[in-house]
């Protein structure tokens, strides 16, 4: 029966008693058995030894979050163990070989092969009692994979594992937790995951990732927060960053972006190193922006952007985009330019800076009396800078110019495409509709066909705006050659 370790067994587990792993385990067994094995037995055992080493390599890769390497190693372990059994199918190591082959196959998800190995083991002429009880745990694992969690629990609880068999007791608790979670018995599953980690502390990463994901499915945000905090607060867990991001995605769908952003906030404790930490925090920025919390998104990006990694560069560029989205005047572009200068050699940053220069140049030509320069500046601000507030101001400036009112209707319609304040939009719409003879305003009438005047003005507008944009682009490129990265 699988039960929580008590008394001296729990004390030993908590004191850090560990199973011997990998090559150390195999070496110890060779030293113990080598003097008594015949030559054939040594050859046979070498195959099992190599399979055991491959399995431990798979375990290490799995716990490090490298699923691809783990699958390869488990496959080698399964094949090696099966070959070892076939070399001497009724030998003294037949049961351990079949058990290892079955366990490795469970890890790879090959349930058919795992079940076949267990069936071979069940008919061995000289049963191995210890291996047989461990096989019950694997049979329970297969039942979990086959979505028969109730039967899985019965099988696992029937396994008569020794109190000091920590590795297999941990395995049993882990699969029992999964079975309980599948039955929506979340509180029992949570405790079972804890017992798995008590017996094998190396499973802590797996435990916290699994029960955090289970907490989201069970609609338990408090427990999800606890699990993710344990993950994010443990040094060396950067290999589990993809699991954290996946859980955050599920939490967003379950509870919305604001709650999901809070769940991964412990990444700020910086236990994982800058690369993994920044990946989590950049995802948090996405969630904060989706929740409408631009202030915290700005603060997070500013913090991440102070680093020297590629993600820090990405954060700096994204911060520029966030601030441009809130820009309403050219004064707001000054801070964005300062933000971009340290990474001015990055092509993404360079495109932003060129677009800012083009916008400023076009606005300057608008001051000199060219209405369409104001309009062109608004288009660059809208389409390339992603600055709707600034674009709206530029479009309105073009509409209010007295030097050439032929483009007023077009400028007013441009302002309507970017300004989000409902009251302001209504005023602009009312002003546009007052211009009944304006060809662009007339186009708003349902069923209205484009007049010759509209087509003529649209062609003239397109040609002049294109000329202005090309001229501004060439001048911006010329000026960009004088930008010194890191200049104040």
User: Which residue, 78, 69, 73, 75, is CA-closest to 47?
Assistant: 78
Examine residue 470 and state whether it is found in any structural domain, yes or no: yes
Q: How many domains does the chain have?
A: 2
Q: Which of 304, 334, 364 is the last residue of a domain?
A: 304
Tokens representing 169? 């007791």
Examine residue 69 and state whether it is found in any structural domain, yes or no: no
Examine residue 210 and state whether it is found in any structural domain, yes or no: yes
Examine residue 288 and state whether it is found in any structural domain, yes or no: yes
Predicted TM-score (pTM) of this structure = 0.74
Indicate whether 291 and 359 sit together in one domain. Answer: no
Indicate whether 213 and 295 sit together in one domain. Answer: yes
Examine residue 30 and state whether it is found in any structural domain, yes or no: no
Tell me which of 432 and 398 has the higher pLDDT. Answer: 398
Indicate whether 273 and 378 sit together in one domain. Answer: no
Examine residue 149 and state whether it is found in any structural domain, yes or no: no
Tokens representing 258? 């604001």
Indicate whether 364 and 455 sit together in one domain. Answer: yes
Indicate whether 350 and 452 sit together in one domain. Answer: yes
Tell me which of 28 and 234 has the higher pLDDT. Answer: 234
Burial of 278 (0-12, 13-18, 19+ CB in 10 A): buried
Mean pLDDT of the chain: 84
Indicate whether 286 and 205 sit together in one domain. Answer: yes
Give the Cβ contact number of residue 221 at 10 Å: 17
Q: What is the pLDDT of residue 12?
A: 31
- In tens, the pLDDT along 362-392 reads 999 999 989 999 999 999 999 999 999 999 9
Range of the structural domain that residue 297 is part of = 200-304
Mean pLDDT over residues 127-142, rounded?
A: 92
Indicate whether 297 and 369 sit together in one domain. Answer: no
Cα dihedral 445→446→452→457 (10° resolution): 60
Q: What is the pLDDT of residue 171?
A: 94
Report whether 152 contacts 183 (CB < 8 A). Answer: no
Examine residue 104 and state whether it is found in any structural domain, yes or no: no
Tell me which of 113 and 453 has the higher pLDDT. Answer: 113
Banded pLDDT at 399 (limits 50, 70, 90): confident
Cα–Cα distances (Å) from 384 to 285, 288, 340, 359, in that order, read 21, 23, 15, 10
Examine residue 422 and state whether it is found in any structural domain, yes or no: yes
Q: Which of 256, 281, 304 is the last residue of a domain?
A: 304
Tell me which of 170 and 234 has the higher pLDDT. Answer: 170
For the cut 90, the answer to whether the pLDDT of residue 20 exceeds it is no
For the cut 60, the answer to whether the pLDDT of residue 19 exceeds it is no
Banded pLDDT at 401 (limits 50, 70, 90): confident
């Amino acid at each position: 029966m699988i039960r929580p370790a008590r008394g001296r067994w729990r004390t030993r587990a908590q004191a850090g008693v560990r199973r011997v792993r990998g090559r150390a385990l195999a070496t110890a067994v060779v030293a113990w058995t080598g003097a008594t094995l015949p030559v054939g037995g040594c050859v046979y055992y070498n195959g099992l030894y190599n399979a055991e080493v491959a399995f431990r390599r798979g375990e290490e890769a799995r716990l490090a979050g490298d699923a691809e390497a783990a699958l390869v190693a488990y496959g080698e372990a399964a094949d090696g163990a099966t070959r070892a059994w076939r070399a001497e199918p009724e030998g003294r190591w037949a049961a351990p070989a079949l058990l290892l082959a079955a366990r490795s196959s469970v890890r790879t998800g090959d349930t058919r092969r795992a079940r076949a190995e267990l069936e071979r083991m069940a008919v061995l002429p000289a049963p191995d009692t210890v291996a047989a009880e461990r096989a019950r745990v694997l049979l329970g694992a297969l039942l979990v994979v086959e979505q028969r969690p109730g039967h899985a629990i019965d099988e696992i609880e029937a396994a008569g594992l020794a109190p000091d068999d920590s590795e297999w007791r941990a395995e049993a608790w882990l699969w029992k937790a999964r079975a309980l979670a599948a039955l929506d018995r979340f509180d029992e599953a949570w405790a079972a995951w804890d017992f798995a980690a008590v017996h094998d502390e190396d499973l802590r990463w797996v435990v916290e990732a699994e029960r955090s994901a289970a907490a989201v499915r069970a609609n338990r945000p408090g427990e999800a927060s606890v699990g993710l905090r344990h993950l994010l607060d443990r040094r060396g867990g950067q290999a589990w960053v993809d699991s954290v991001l996946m859980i955050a995605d599920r939490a967003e769908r379950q509870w919305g972006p604001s709650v999901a952003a809070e769940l991964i906030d412990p990444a700020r404790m910086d236990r994982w190193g800058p690369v993994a930490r920044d990946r989590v925090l950049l995802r948090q920025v996405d969630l904060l922006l989706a929740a409408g919390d631009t202030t915290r998104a700005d603060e997070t990006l500013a913090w991440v952007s102070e680093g020297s990694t590629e993600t820090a560069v990405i954060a700096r560029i994204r911060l520029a985009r966030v601030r441009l989205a809130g820009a309403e005047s050219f004064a707001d572009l000054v801070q964005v330019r300062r933000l971009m200068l340290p990474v001015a050699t990055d092509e993404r940053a360079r495109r932003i800076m060129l677009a800012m220069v083009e916008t400023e140049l076009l606005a300057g030509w608008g001051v000199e009396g060219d209405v369409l320069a104001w309009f062109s500046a608004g288009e660059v601000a809208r389409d390339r800078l992603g600055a709707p507030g600034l674009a709206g101001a530029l479009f309105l400036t073009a509409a209010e110019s007295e030097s050439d009112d032929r483009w007023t209707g077009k400028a007013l319609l441009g302002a309507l495409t970017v300004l989000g304040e409902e009251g302001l939009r209504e005023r602009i719409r009312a002003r546009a509709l007052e211009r009944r003879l304006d060809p662009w305003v007339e186009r708003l009438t349902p069923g209205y066909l484009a007049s010759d005047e509209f087509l003529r003005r649209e062609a003239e507008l397109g040609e002049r705006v294109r000329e202005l944009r090309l001229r501004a682009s060439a001048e911006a490129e010329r000026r960009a050659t004088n930008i010194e990265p890191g200049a104040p």
